[in-house]
Amino acid sequence: MSARSVLDALNRDAYHITEVGITKDGRWLSGDHALAAFEHGSLDDLVPVVLPVEPDDDQLYERRADSLVPITRIDVVFPILHGTFGEDGTLQGFLELADLPYVGAGVLAAAVTMDKGVFKSLMSASRIPVVPGITLNSSELAGDMDPVLEKIEALGGYPYFTKPANLGSSVGITKCRSRSDLMEGLLEAARYDRRVVVERGVNAREIEVSVMGNDQPEASIPGEIDPGADFYTYEAKYLDDTSVLHIPAALDEVTALEIRRLAVEAYKAVDGAGFARVDFLLDVDDGQVYLNEINAIPGFTKISMFPKLWEASGVPYAELLDRLIAYAFERVEQKRVLVRSYGDGA
């Protein structure tokens, strides 16, 4: 859905677009209307392609039985891939080796923001408030769980949220109101990742800010999500229509400015680039603002929060895409002037 929106909005007079899809088993396929082929599960007319990891080769090749045939030159990659292998730094590392400009976060920012445990530690070190929590290895859940449960319960009273450390879209997240819930939630999260994050529950409003830029990032006006469920579940995000977006969020000016400031500070702390959505929890009981997460490749449909916040801030969708592509070129030029060898007169 995100890729479809981007393709529909890109200026065809300015860009020659090559669509490449990646199957769940890791095959790269391209061809006319590749996205439509993926949407309908009809991949037979697509061809396997390869992007060489060589800095002096910017060609996309069709992979044949005994040869590679060049298809087109690649100037910039716009990766709209959510979750594992898309926004966790792995694809970004591949593109770094190929020395190709790409839209969005670099390896560090993508990896750090994907790992909730490491991210919370970094935010705490940067003095950005986060909800109290702990990170566990799934091996700690084998056998007697009482020591782990007692460690968690020392954070305060129920409820707690259990989450896979490396995942998105609320997959594997459980709201736990009792010890039995907590045991089930821990095991559910451990199905998806070998590390599990547990956070104390907060009676909170969910506030989101869109950020874009490289060294001098800008923050949009804040928006609010009313999930229409107990929390912002996968179903509430994608499968039903009960969630409501409020743009702008109903916040006093001081709180809105503080949230925007924290969004930019967090973005800088992870060395963000291009764009991200920064999510907050606003405690309705005491007004405390907590940073929840940074999404390195947020939903990018025309009705997603990221583009809608920028539209409400004065940047229409097509212009937003142009700016993100320009940031990609800016970022790679900064890298290319760096010294990569030392000694022998270098």
> Cβ contacts of residue 247 below 8 Å, gap of 6+?
221, 223, 224, 305, 308, 309, 312
pLDDT tens profile 139-166: 999 888 999 999 999 998 999 999 999 8
What pLDDT does 234 receive? Answer: 55
| Cα–Cα distances in angstroms (integers) from residue 92 to residues 69, 259, 325, in the given order | 24, 28, 15
pLDDT tens profile 315-328: 999 999 999 999 99
What pLDDT does 341 receive? Answer: 83
What pLDDT does 343 receive? Answer: 76
Share of the chain above pLDDT 90, in %: 79
pLDDT band at 232 (very low <50, low <70, confident <90, very high): low
Residue 228 token pair: 């229409």
pLDDT band at 167 (very low <50, low <70, confident <90, very high): confident
pLDDT tens profile 330-342: 999 998 888 888 8
pLDDT band at 303 (very low <50, low <70, confident <90, very high): confident
Q: Are 266 and 209 in contact (CB under 8 A)?
A: no
CA separation for the pair 294, 116 (Å, rounded)? 9
pLDDT tens profile 121-131: 999 999 999 99
pLDDT tens profile 176-205: 999 999 999 999 999 999 999 999 999 999
pLDDT band at 288 (very low <50, low <70, confident <90, very high): very high
Residue 165 token pair: 């450390």
| Beta strands 275-283 and 204-212, pairing class | antiparallel
Q: Give the residue among 290, 203, 287 at the shortest CA–CA distance from 278.
A: 290
Structural domains in the chain, CATH included, are 2-104 (3.40.50.20), 132-200 (3.30.1490.20), 202-335 (3.30.470.20)
What pLDDT does 340 receive? Answer: 81
> Cβ contacts of residue 323 below 8 Å, gap of 6+?
212, 315
What pLDDT does 54 receive? Answer: 85
What pLDDT does 240 receive? Answer: 55
